[in-house]
Amino acid sequence: MICLRLSTNFNTLITKKKIMSSGKILLGVLAGVAAGALAGILFAPAKGSRTRKRILRQGENYVDGLKEKFNEYADTISEKLEHAKEEVSAFAQKSKEKFEEAEKEVKTSKV
């Protein structure tokens, strides 16, 4: 029982680390893309007003993309959290059933 609990805790810890590391990677990639696009626009020869419009449009595109990626990431985390809740509930139910069986065995062996 202790081994099963440790295994479950270890798997949960690994899953959390994977989620956190993928989030950091995603954020780093998005920041790099945004910085590169901004640098490209700023160094391109164009009128100031045209450059500002391009920066604004690019910024809006990146914000939309970032919102979409964030929503996907949040959905993924929500799905994993829901799955973990279901596993914990199933584990708790099995543990309760085993406890009740053991309790019945103890009562019948006393009689």
What's the rounded mean pLDDT across residues 35-54? Answer: 76
Prediction pTM value:
0.45
Return phi, psi of residue 47, to 5°. Answer: -65, 155
Is a pLDDT exceeding 70 seen at residue 4?
no
Burial of 66 per CB tally in 10 Å (0-12, 13-18, 19+): middle
Q: How confident is the model at residue 91 (pLDDT cuts 50, 70, 90)?
A: very high
What's the rounded mean pLDDT across residues 76-86? Answer: 91
Is a pLDDT exceeding 90 seen at residue 1?
no
Whole-number Å distance between alpha carbons of 111 and 104: 11
Closest CA to 72 of 30, 103, 101: 30
